[in-house]
Amino acid sequence: AQSVAQPEDQVNVAEGNPLTVKCTYSVSGNPYLFWYVQYPNRGLQFLLKYITGDNLVKGSYGFEAEFNKSQTSFHLKKPSALVSDSALYFCAVGPGGYNKLIFGAGTRLAVHP
C-alpha cells in the first residue's frame, strides 16, 4: 500500500538553530512531493514541491527540502528557525502527479525563543 510517513509527532528546536522535519514515502514510480504548513484553524499553505530536476528544492519562508531517491525521503529543512515557524507541517506525495495526494500524519514544529 502507498503511504507517507512523518516519524516525528513533534519537533522542538531553539530559535536560530537549524531544523529538520522528516518525511519518507512508499510510492511506486516518480511521484510529486510536497510540503505544506498549517497554522491553527487554517487551511494548508504551500511551501515547496519536487517534481524533477535538482534534488534540493527551495521554497517559501526560507524553507528547503532535499529529495533522496534511494532513501525515498523528502526532508524539510531550514538553516535558522524562527518562533513564527511554529506550526503543523504536512508532507504529501502525489503518485500520479499533483492530484490524489497522500498526506503524512503531520509533524508539529515548536520553535522556542
Question: Which residues are near another protein by CB under 8 A?
Answer: 32, 34, 36, 41-46, 49, 51, 90, 97-101, 103-106
Q: Of 36 and 81, which has the nearer Cβ to another protein? A: 36
Q: Of 16 and 42, which has the nearer Cβ to another protein? A: 42
Q: Of 83 and 105, which has the nearer Cβ to another protein? A: 105
State the CB neighbour count (10 A cutoff) for residue 107. Answer: 20
CB of 18 to another protein, least distance (A): 25
Which class for 18: exposed (0-12), middle (13-18), buried (19 or more C-beta within 10 A)? exposed
Dihedral, CA of residue 40, residue 46, residue 32 and residue 1, to nearest 10: 10
CB of 43 to another protein, least distance (A): 4
The answer to whether 110 and 99 are in contact (CB under 8 A) is no
CB of 3 to another protein, least distance (A): 11
Q: Of 54 and 113, which has the nearer Cβ to another protein? A: 54
Q: Cα separation of 106 and 38, whole Å?
A: 9
